[in-house]
Amino acid sequence: MTEYRFGHPGDEEDILDFINLVFSQAARPHHFDRLLPKVYAHSGYAPLHALAVTEGRIRGCVAVLPLTVRLHGETLQGGYVGSVSVHERARGEGHMKALMRMQIEAAQARGDDFLILGGRRQRYGYYGFEKIGGMAEFSINADNVRHALAEADGEWVAFRQVEGPQDRALRLISALHAAQPYRCDRPAQRLYDTLTSWEAEPFVISHRETGEFRGYLIAADSRITELVLVEEGDLPAVIKAWMRGRKGCAVLAPLWQRARVNGLKAFAENGRVGDEEMIKVLCWPRVLSAALRMQQAVLPLPEGTVIVEIAGQRLALTVDSSRITVAETDQKPDRVLTEKQAAALFFSPLSALMEGNALLRAWLPLPLGMPPADQF
């Protein structure tokens, strides 16, 4: 007899042992207290996990990490799905289906606006998740630096790896991150653990002579997964300095950072935009309203109204010079969509490219995705 329940405080050691075992069997050795310290290096994580327990032994697990997302003054509550695992001898018994349903129902009961995850499209499509993407990735090599950044002065730029949770620079990093118009809340007491998730390394960027704080970056392997600058004009100098002694690197840039995307596009070898995360929207009016307001803050949107029907709910999306509204309506819809079709339309850059409605095409894709440091 299998019991499906949420974790209790006494389950924490068993949960950690279970996910370490399952993920280590599937790939390289995993030690989640080191790979994901923002969750598993602290007590209190058991209730995040929905568990399948048979005769006292965990046979399946699905966790949801709460997220608070700020979009230009609007706030969305959501959750990142992770640690999805089933013991190899218990596969095919329906544990994942039951646990995913538990987490979706719990998110709805909490009033969450969305759930998000990274995973295989068809596997999670059964639960209403669809591919989205809000990141561009640019490849930079030594030739780009030598030719396109020849005039940039990178000599003043200094990098210092953040030394631990007591590093004084974390206060500056926290304040700079909190000033960004699109961000996830990062509790100060776990900021270092957040920045070092999945073996990433955070660095302080400063002026070599004065010591002035100029920003920070997070590096993982050969990728800069997050780069936040006090002054965007420092970008060429920072990239040139970072590339010193390196043959190449990749830099991620959220699509809402239009100046950053244009700056990297000017000298990078190439760039790509993909749809790598998956989302299940639980409250369409709140999510669309927040995302449209964020989009309008960085890109003036043409005025107009589009009526969409999403899984039977009709919404009027209106943009004018003074306000954005998303409200229920009984008007005839311009588009009739399933939840998955709507997620792809509004939040995937690939779907937006193919959109035939001129007004929608000008609005899309809307920003909604999580930086790697905030993923689970």
Highest mean pLDDT among 63-67, 353-357, 362-366: 63-67
Instruction: Give yes or no for a contact between 350 and 133, defined as CB atoms under 8 angstroms apart.
Output: yes
**Domain annotation for the chain: domains and CATH numbers:** 2-112 (3.40.630.30), 136-273 (3.40.630.30), 280-373 (3.30.1050)
CA 303 to CA 323: how far, in whole Å?
10
pLDDT of residue 352: 78
Q: How far is CA 327 from CA 92, 287, 309, 318, 341, in A?
A: 42, 12, 11, 9, 19
pLDDT of residue 34: 94
pLDDT, tens digit, 9 for 90 and up, residues 66-87: 999 999 989 999 999 999 999 9
User: Residue 126 pLDDT > 90, yes or no?
Assistant: yes
pLDDT, tens digit, 9 for 90 and up, residues 201-223: 999 999 999 999 999 999 998 99
User: Residue 353 pLDDT > 90, yes or no?
Assistant: no
Output b/e per residue, 230-257; b: 16+ Cβ within 10 A: eeeebbbbbbbbbbeeeeebbbbbbbbb
CA 135 to CA 253: how far, in whole Å?
6
Mean pLDDT in residue range 219-237? 97
Instruction: Give yes or no for a contact between 369 and 134, defined as CB atoms under 8 angstroms apart.
Output: yes
Instruction: Give yes or no for a contact between 261 and 136, defined as CB atoms under 8 angstroms apart.
Output: yes
User: Residue 304 pLDDT > 90, yes or no?
Assistant: yes
User: Residue 18 pLDDT > 90, yes or no?
Assistant: yes
pLDDT of residue 258: 93
CA 217 to CA 143: how far, in whole Å?
22
Measured over the CA atoms of residue 228, residue 234, residue 238 and residue 240, the dihedral's sign is positive
Instruction: Give yes or no for a contact between 7 and 15, defined as CB atoms under 8 angstroms apart.
Output: yes
251-202-84 Cα angle (round to 5) = 80
Prediction pTM value: 0.93
pLDDT of residue 354: 82
- 177 three-state secondary structure: helix
Instruction: Give yes or no for a contact between 188 and 169, defined as CB atoms under 8 angstroms apart.
Output: no
CA 129 to CA 123: how far, in whole Å?
9
CA 132 to CA 277: how far, in whole Å?
5
Please, which pLDDT band fits residue 160 given cuts at 50, 70 and 90? very high
